[in-house]
A and B are shown apart, each in its own frame.
Chain A
Amino acid sequence: QQQVKQSPQSLIVQKGGIPIINCAYENTAFDYFPWYQQFPGKGPALLIAIRPDVSEKKEGRFTISFNKSAKQFSLHIMDSQPGDSATYFCAASKSGTASKLTFGTGTRLQVTL
């Protein structure tokens, strides 16, 4: 029940395309859903996060869509660029003073010219 399932495992899009990465969770106690971006040899970096009281959040070219009833959330990258090529992880957490993150399995995104 602690798992976060992520798909697809890898994704190739052309520059300007809109890659969409999907995640699903089971634990209804989760109430914080961040997305992390990881470049090779680096640690994950927080990209954008959402709480379940909103259905969508946009920051720059990155948008999270959240469907509480389906227990699913997704990341959309508008006007994707080659510099967006990285591994993207969704994650989930429960409220708490030192809450741990449960990560999805990651999506390797390649944006081609």
Chain B
Amino acid sequence: EPEVTQTPSHQVTQMGQEVILRCVPISNHLYFYWYRQILGQKVEFLVSFYNNEISEKSEIFDDQFSVERPDGSNFTLKIRSTKLEDSAMYFCASSPQGILTYGYTFGSGTRLTVV
């Protein structure tokens, strides 16, 4: 079964450093998303991406966050200057069409620890 692949599985970074989280969505999917889950809490929407541009972003997705699809296969989330409160599990998801038809497929996540 096709998978959404995320790397690395775990990243530790110092506060103030830049991190890039990488995702390879399922190949024929057109819609891409990032969500995060702070330990023990609910999954929260960060951003959706379609046709090489952001479709929607949450209030969490401020100027320190950016997304990119640099080469037609990878989908990245960059956090420019990490803060302690950015420590969370970050999930990438993709969908072939609108959510109502197929839903999402989530990756296994990247656990980001900011120290």
Binding site for B on A (CB under 8 A): 31-32, 34, 36, 41-46, 49, 51, 89, 93, 95-106
Contacts and interface: CB of A to CB of B under 8 A. Distances in A.
B45 A100 contact: yes
A7 to B, nearest CB: 13
Contacts of B100: 31-32, 51, 93, 95, 99
A100 B35 CA distance: 9
B55 interface: yes
**Is chain A's interface secondary structure helix, strand, loop, or mixed overall?**
loop
B99 A43 contact: no
A8 to B, nearest CB: 14
Interface of B: 4, 31, 33, 35, 41-45, 48-50, 55-56, 58, 91, 93, 98-100, 103-109
Nearest to A93: B99
7 contacts: A36-B43, A43-B108, A43-B109, A46-B105, A99-B98, A99-B100, A100-B48
B55 A34 contact: no
A101 B106 contact: no
A82 B108 CA distance: 22
B38 to A, nearest CB: 12
Nearest to A106: B42
A41 B108 contact: yes
A49 B103 contact: yes
| Interface core residue of B44, B48, B100, B105 (most chain A CB under 10 Å) | B100
Contacts of B58: 100
A34 B44 CA distance: 15
A97 B108 contact: no
B89 to A, nearest CB: 9
Contact of B106 (A32, A44, A49, A98): A44
A51 B45 CA distance: 21
Nearest to B41: A105
